[in-house]
Chains A and B, each alone.
Chain A
Amino acid sequence: MDDLKQKYLGQIAEADDESALESIRLAAVGKKGEVALKMRELGKMTPEERQTAGPALNALKDEINSALAAKKAALADAALDARLREEWLDVTLPARSTRQGTIHPISQVSEEVTAIFAEMGFSVAEGPRIDTDWYNFDALNIPGHHPARAEMDTFYMHRAEGDNRPPHVLRTHTSPVQIRSMEKMGAPLRIICPGGVYRADYDQTHTPMFHQVEGLAIDKDISMAHLKWVLEEFVKAYFEVDGVDLRFRASHFPFTEPSAEVDIRCSWEGGTLKIGEGDDWLEILGSGMVHPKVLAAGGIDPDAWQGFAFGMGIDRIAMLKYGVPDLRAFFDSDLRWLRHYGFASLDQPNLHGGLSR
């Protein structure tokens, strides 16, 4: 029996392919194999002989079967290894291309601004781009002869012959949305209104269309000190700095009183803007307490309510934050610009994850 074992285990070890292994299996443990023949001889044995020979033969059969299985696996492994050795790819070849889409900086910054003001309870209001001169001017305390009208470089819509209404305008600021929101929602009120606005001006730093965000808060006891805090918080959050100095300078807008231009402390070193440090001041927005006439125009009792309003350029703060040099390029749709200054689709700004990467 030991001879048999030595013989077959030796053959199995030497086998070098699956067919050889199969021949060995048939010769050893197949139905007519040597081990099977031995098994048949068990019947002729005495019960005592059978008791030792039976288990020994079974053990031999098991051992040969395991050796066969192990050898089969080893041969398969070796065959796979041999095949894989041949399967070589130049993995430095470029991958299949996928398009990378981008979000325009104006959309991205609008969402950033919205995220910050939403945290302070401001919702987002919208209004038409073409508006009446009443909403754009009169309701905002800019009567027909007011020099501010001429200074605004207003685009007017064409009037058909016989239509004697004053021509509609392309809104020169987002402020008409203040009036529409007051009419619709009344007081108290906290809104921001981002959107496109128009002035007939086109040079290095002006485009005939640009984007503003307007803010308005109306309540019983809102003061300019609240305005200052809101803007401080906004600037810190937007520019992602720990602290920032804001300077309020007296100014004039027909729709606010008192009015202030707001500057932020900054430095320009080597052409790079740093917010919150240095000795320079950068004008970023106009603001003030809503003029009583404006409240009244929006249907809100100026003796009972007061509030603040502010407005700033979305394109401008986008340029400042992300270092975009030329306003005109925002509207040129140059693929190189869109890719360079655009944002990934999943870079949705929020306050828990941060506004920018």
Chain B
Amino acid sequence: MKFTLSWLKDHLDTTATLDEILYALTDLGLEVEGVEDRGARLRDFTIGYVKSAEKHPDADRLRVCQVETDEGVKQIICGAPNAREGITVVVAKPGVYVPGIDTTIGVGKIRGIESFGMMASEREMELSDEHDGIIELDTGEVGQSFVDWLAEHDPAKVDPVIEIAITPNRPDALGVRGIARDLAARGLGKLKKRDVDAVEGTFDCPVSVTIDGDTLEQCPVFYGRVIRGVKNGPSPKWLQDHLRAIGLRPISFLVDVTNFFTYDRNRPLHVFDADKIAGNALRVHRAKGGETLVGLDEKEYTFEEGMTLISDADGVESIGGVMGGMASGCTEETTNVFLEAAYFDPVRTAYTGRALKINSDARYRFERGIDPAWTPYGIEHATRMILDHAGGEASEVIVAGKIPNTDRAYKLDAARVRSLVGMDIPESEQRQTLTSLGFILEGNMAHVPSWRPDVQGEADLVEEVARIASLTKLQGTPLPRLVDGVPKPVLSPAQRREAIGRRTCAALGYNECVSYTFIDQASAALFGGGEDTTLLENPISSDMSHMRPALLPGLLQAASRNQARGFADLALFEVGPAFHGGEPGEQHMLITGLLVGRTGPKDVHGATRAVDVFDVKADAEVVLAAMGAPARVQILRGAREWWHPGRHGMICLGPKKVLGVFGEVHPRVLDAMDVKGPAMAFTLWPEEIPMPRKAGATRPALDISDLQAVERDFAFVVDAKVEALTLVNAAMGADKALIEDVRIFDEFIGGSLGEGKKSLALTVRLQPVSQTLKDADIEAVSAKVVDKVTKATGGVLRG
């Protein structure tokens, strides 16, 4: 919402400075978004008088002028055709900034003659586009500030333009008068009376208006009258100045009048050319659907059932509350005008405007809510302005429907300001505030003014009182603790688990990413997503059309981008939600890590190598352990299709309980996502890790033996596809009491063993508990180990 200071002062009798007004506006909740104070930057320009002007000896078109200024006579070289003796001019002395040429004036020599300033044109001061010559003033004293002169003789040129943000609850502040009312309530002046006497009609209105019975909800009331014999044309200068200052283009007087009241009083009006209303009858009705109209913006609109339309005998002429029609609009030739002041329902207007994608000033105001009670006054104000400038003769006012009743009252509980806001404001001041905002107090009941549709309860009264008193006065009060003493921890086990998982990944050298949770359909489809259930109806681009089914695609895209930037060795991870459906809650927490390239840059020690599956397996195990996953897990195959079929494993507690997957990403997926592979990854499901049964912080007693442990190594030749874990589990089972640990320490494939065979070597650690082991004991256990392993694998002990 834009307005000028002088427009505000049309409604507010105030001595407050611009800065005081701006501060108050923001503090009242009418946040100032910008001020264009054209006067401020012209403050240093002063008025001068040209005592003499002689031709420059070395340039035909330059004049050497002696100019009287507040600092004595200055010599100024000037090239303007009208620079001559005896005129009153505007002078910029050295040091003055000239906005139109973006230059600060200095002392200079022009063709060898010194010049001590400049005489300015309107364009150079950005007052207009006028640049045919320097300004010549009819009046003005030498040394007088030019801004002061303008304020007196042409105030519109230096009128500050203020732009404020209007929150949706304050339609009343969409009119200058509403803004003035707030400032007056704050104590920044008095609201001026701006009433006009009603204009008596001298003839019956030749146009009739009816509202269909089923349309009264969306257009409860319609006021209209014809003014005949008007002379349309350009608006008077003051009106053009008002509209131009706030960025509106003056069109013709009749149209400008409607725009003026839109901004002055938040009262949108419409003017029809009365001679173009077919059948001299307007009907307000609900659209059947399919009707069309070319609007004032010259675009054609097609209506949906239920929209509010205004039609004559020929068809639709106007969209109620949104926009008038081209055909029946006023032009320069209009002599008989039909003036409309109606009230359109905010909800219906909002839906219609949104569906038709029309953002008009009228829609903006009707959907927020204008003052229905001011409808009859609005038509009189506009009539008076039209008659005063364009002449003509007004008919009787015709009314269809009736003004909707907005009367309601809420109890003013003076103590509520204390209890809700925490400010002490005397009751008398509270009542005074409400009264000055237009509330009418009857005892404790505050009747809400018709222009404040937002006030819907007692809390709103508190808000008004606190707002006008200023929330900057609010003093903080300590919030008492919920419990005395040391605060209790607040994170849930799942939240702690997520944080630990995240920090463990970073500790392992991964860089955390936060990716957009929506990705393109093709990428989503590679990871089991991309269905319509996770499709966005209105994505901002096709790259962001589907909620991600996993974190891996986002990380792979990040890897691809980083590879393109020349970074080949990457360790990235993300912790966040993935989506398996489009309903609330159809999301699950994941932790995914991705390794690409080498374990580090090539180095002098030859210590780095290409990343492999066992890197991500190690990392997955460390992160799972940090999050409290049990140490005993199964490693199964058969994860989803984006993993390399032979090079991945699922870390499971049983076939249905998958805690994580590690492995190589399928080369076809990498290719599709433009990642130079191979790439290793792990994905963990923290929510799947069983929550420990909390039994206090105490740990079980440490049970260690003083007896020496013994290690024995075995090597078995087995089929190449026999899994190491089978051997480990079999060996572990040989003597559950004695065998503490079994470790694989060597793998050898092929060679002398022959095709399809491999040798696995393992160390079995025996920990005696009651007595030192004798050779015979060790031999007995060893035999059992060999027996178990060979039975489980079909392999043989390697000779």
Task: List residues of A whose CB falls within 8 A of some B CB.
Answer: 93-94, 96-104, 106-107, 111, 114, 118-124, 126, 128-132, 135, 144-148, 150-151, 155-160, 167-168, 170, 188, 190, 196, 200-202, 207-209, 217, 221-226, 228-232, 246-252, 254, 257-261, 289, 291-292, 306, 330-336, 338-339, 342, 344-346, 348
Contacts and interface: CB of A to CB of B under 8 A. Distances in A.
Contacts of B489: 118
B420 A102 contact: no
Given A250-B470, A258-B466, 17 more contacts: A99-B508, A104-B512, A118-B489, A128-B585, A155-B537, A155-B538, A157-B537, A157-B582, A200-B540, A201-B540, A228-B475, A252-B454, A259-B463, A289-B420, A330-B514, A335-B565, A348-B503
Interface residues of B, number: 106
Contacts of B587: 128-130
- Chain A to chain B: the 4 pairs with minimum beta-carbon distance, closest first: A99-B509, A225-B422, A229-B476, A250-B29
10 contacts: A102-B511, A144-B347, A158-B532, A168-B584, A190-B482, A223-B422, A257-B459, A258-B471, A331-B515, A338-B511
A200 B545 CA distance: 12
A354 to B, nearest CB: 17
A345 B538 contact: no
Interface in B474-528: 474-479, 481-483, 487, 489-492, 495, 499, 502-518
B567 interface: yes
A201 B539 CA distance: 10
Interface stretch (B295-303, B389-397, B597-605, B706-714): B597-605
Contact of B535 (A157, A202, A254, A335): A157
A155 B168 contact: no
Given A96-B605, A225-B477, A344-B506, A249 B26 contact: yes
A124 B170 contact: no
Interface majority SS (helix, strand, loop, mixed), chain A: mixed
Interface in B640-692: none
A254 B337 CA distance: 41
Contact of A168 (B472, B540, B582): B582
Most A CB within 10 A of own CB, among B499, B540, B554? B540
A107 B463 contact: no
Interface string B107-126: 00000000000000000000
Nearest to A211: B514
A145 B477 contact: no
A232 B476 contact: yes
B583 interface: yes
A119 B487 contact: yes
A94 B603 contact: yes
Given A102-B506, A334-B561, A339 B511 contact: yes
B367 interface: yes
B466 A250 contact: yes
B350 interface: yes
B544 interface: yes
A221 B350 CA distance: 38
B419 A223 contact: yes
Interface stretch (B317-325, B569-577, B755-763): B569-577
Given A101-B571, A118-B487, A344-B506, A249 B477 contact: no
B472 A97 contact: no
A172 to B, nearest CB: 13
B511 A147 contact: no
Interface in B12-70: 26-29, 31
B514 A147 contact: no
B561 A332 contact: yes
Contacts of A93: 604
B421 interface: yes
B368 interface: yes
A100 B514 CA distance: 18
B459 A289 contact: yes
A156 B547 CA distance: 12
Nearest to B604: A93
A339 B499 CA distance: 19
A160 B502 CA distance: 37
Nearest to A119: B487
A251 B421 contact: no
Given A130-B579, A145-B346, A202 B540 contact: yes
A196 B534 CA distance: 17
B586 interface: yes
B479 A258 contact: no
A145 B505 contact: no
B476 A228 contact: yes
Nearest to B535: A158
Contacts of A130: 547, 579, 582-584, 586-587
A247 B471 CA distance: 8
A98 B600 contact: yes
B187 to A, nearest CB: 15
B603 A345 contact: no
A150 B535 contact: no
Given A209-B516, A345-B503, A229 B463 contact: no
Given A225-B475, A252-B168, A167 B579 contact: no
Contact of A248 (B472, B532, B535, B607): B472
B587 to A, nearest CB: 6
Given A157-B582, A291-B459, A333-B515, A345 B420 contact: no
B537 A167 contact: yes
Contacts of A122: 490
A228 B474 contact: yes
A345 B536 contact: no
B516 A101 contact: no
Contacts of A232: 476
Most A CB within 10 A of own CB, among B421, B457, B587? B421
B603 A97 contact: yes
A208 B518 CA distance: 10
A252 B29 contact: yes
A306 B420 contact: yes
B458 to A, nearest CB: 9
Most B CB within 10 A of own CB, among A93, A106, A335? A335
Nearest to A127: B584
B128 interface: no
Contacts of A158: 532-533, 535-537, 582
A222 B347 contact: no
Nearest to A207: B516
A180 B554 CA distance: 29
